[in-house]
Amino acid sequence: ELSRMEAYFASVGAILAQLEELKGLVSEGARFESAKAAEKDRFSGNSLHFLEEERFRKMFAKRYPLLRDQLISKIGIWEADNAGTFIYRGAAVRERLVGMRD
């Protein structure tokens, strides 16, 4: 039983790490957007902050779909290998990620 559980944790380790990375990126994006929206002097003064915002948004727009699609692929492979649905905190993760893509 112990070896079975160790094998299970080894099989989901990479998926969970990438899922945490995706969640961190989304949290960082939400935090960035709310901080920028709350700035009172956002539209006055030096325009360098607009370049910073645009740089962050471009990075997010590039990384998020890539991470999401890699995660969908990894989970699909895991589900095929294990003949089951990958459930994380009560939710079928792959279906939710595919829904976000569409």
- Where residue 97 sits, what CATH number does that domain have? 1.20.58.1520
For 67, residues 6+ apart whose C-beta sits below 8 A from its C-beta are: 18, 21, 22, 25
How many domains are there within the chain? 1
**What average pLDDT does the segment 84-93 reach?**
92
Task: Kindly report, residue by residue over 39-59, the tens digit of the pLDDT.
Answer: 777 666 667 778 888 999 999
Distance (Å, whole) CA 7 – CA 93: 20
Which amino acid is it at 10?
A: A
Which amino acid is it at 50?
A: F
Q: In the beta sheet, which residues pair with residue 92? A: 87
**What is the domain extent for residue 78?**
2-101
pLDDT band of residue 67 (cuts 50, 70, 90) is very high
As given in the structure block, the two tokens for residue 13 are 């380790």
| Res 16: pLDDT | 94
